[in-house]
Amino acid sequence: MKKFLFAFVLSLTVWAQADSSLNRILELDRALSNDALLPAREHLYRAEVYSANRLFSEARRHWQKILDNYSDDETVMPKTLFGIARSYMWERDYEKAIFYFDRLIRDYLHTKEGREGVAFKGACYVRLSRHDEAASVYEQYIRMFPFGERIESSHLNLIDALREAKRYEEAEQWVETTVKRFSGMPAATNALHAKLRMEIYRGRWINAVATANNLLALNKFKDSMTSREEVLYLQALALEESGKRSEAMRIYRSISDSTSYFGELALRKLGFRNKRILKTVKSSSEYPAPYRNEILRYAKAKKLDPRFILAIMKQESSFRTDAKSPAGARGLLQLVYDTAVKYSQEAGFSKLEPDDLYSPEINIAISIVYIAKLFDEFDHFYEPVAASYNAGEDNAARWLNRTKPKDAGVFIAEIGFSETKNYVLKVMNNYRFYRELYDENLNPRER
60: nearest Cα among 33, 80, 35: 80
Q: Is residue 190 part of a domain?
A: no
Which residues, in sequence order, are bridge partners of residue 444? 438
Question: Both 368 and 266 in a single domain?
Answer: no
Other C-beta atoms closer than 10 Å to the C-beta of 36 total 9
Residues 243 and 298 both lie in one domain:
no
Helices (H), 219-319: 228-241, 245-255, 261-269, 292-301, 306-317
Of 288, 296, 280, 301, nearest in space to 444 by CA: 288
Burial readout 415-441 (b: 16 or more C-beta within 10 A, e: otherwise): bbbeebbebbbbbbbbbbbbbbbbeee
Last-in-domain residue among 276, 304, 321 = 276
Range of the structural domain that residue 218 is part of: 197-276
User: What is the DSSP code (8-state) at residue 148?
Assistant: -
150 within a domain of the structure (yes/no): no
Is residue 126 within 8 Å of residue 391, measured between CB atoms? no
Give CA–CA dist 422/7, Å, rounded.
Answer: 22
Q: Is residue 47 part of a domain?
A: no
Q: pLDDT per residue over 107-123, tens digit each?
A: 999 999 999 999 999 99
Contact (CB, 8 A) for 294 and 284:
no
Per-residue pLDDT at 327: 86
* Structure confidence at residue 13 (pLDDT): 42
Q: Residue 345 sits in a domain of what CATH number?
A: 1.10.530.10
* Residue 84 domain flag: no
Predicted pLDDT of residue 118: 98
Domain boundary among 276, 306, 325: 276
Q: Are residues 251 and 299 in the same domain?
A: no
Assigned domain for 231 exists? yes
Say whether both 205 and 301 belong to one domain.
no
Burial class for 18, CB neighbours closer than 10 Å (0-12, 13-18, 19+): middle
Query: In terms of Cα–Cα distance, which of 211, 160, 151, 161 is closest to 185?
Result: 151
- For residue 410, the SS3 value is helix
Amino acid, res. 395: N
Residues 252, 319, single domain; the answer is no
Q: Are residues 259 and 299 in the same domain?
A: no
SS3 of 330, please? strand
pLDDT along the chain (447 residues), means of 10: 38 54 93 91 97 96 98 97 98 98 98 98 98 98 97 98 98 98 98 98 98 98 97 98 98 93 95 59 80 98 98 98 93 96 95 95 98 98 98 97 97 98 97 95 90
Please check whether residues 348 and 403 belong to one and the same domain.
yes
Q: CA 4 to CA 210: how far, in whole Å?
A: 45
- Among residues 389, 198, 197, which one has the least CA distance to residue 308? 389
pTM of the model: 0.92
Q: Is residue 363 located within the same domain as residue 311? A: yes
d(CA 106, CA 283): 59
Is residue 63 domain-resident?
no
pLDDT of residue 17: 52
Same domain, 308 and 342: yes
pLDDT of residue 4: 35
Task: Indicate whether 7 belongs to any domain.
Answer: no
Task: Count Cβ neighbours within 10 Å for each residue of 137-156 and write b for 16 or more, e otherwise.
Answer: bbbbbbeebeebebbbbbbb
The DSSP bridge partners found for residue 151 are: none
Local structure of residue 164 (DSSP, 8 states): H
User: Is residue 156 situated within a structural domain?
Assistant: no
Name the amino acid, one letter, at 151: I
Round to whole Å and give the CA distance between 148 and 154.
Answer: 10
299 and 242 fall within a common domain: no
Which amino acid type is present at position 35? Answer: D
Report the domain count for the chain.
Answer: 2
Provide the β-strand partners of residue 335: 330
Residues 272 and 300 in one domain: no
- The conformation of residue 335, written as its DSSP 8-state character, comes to B
Both 245 and 361 in one domain: the answer is no
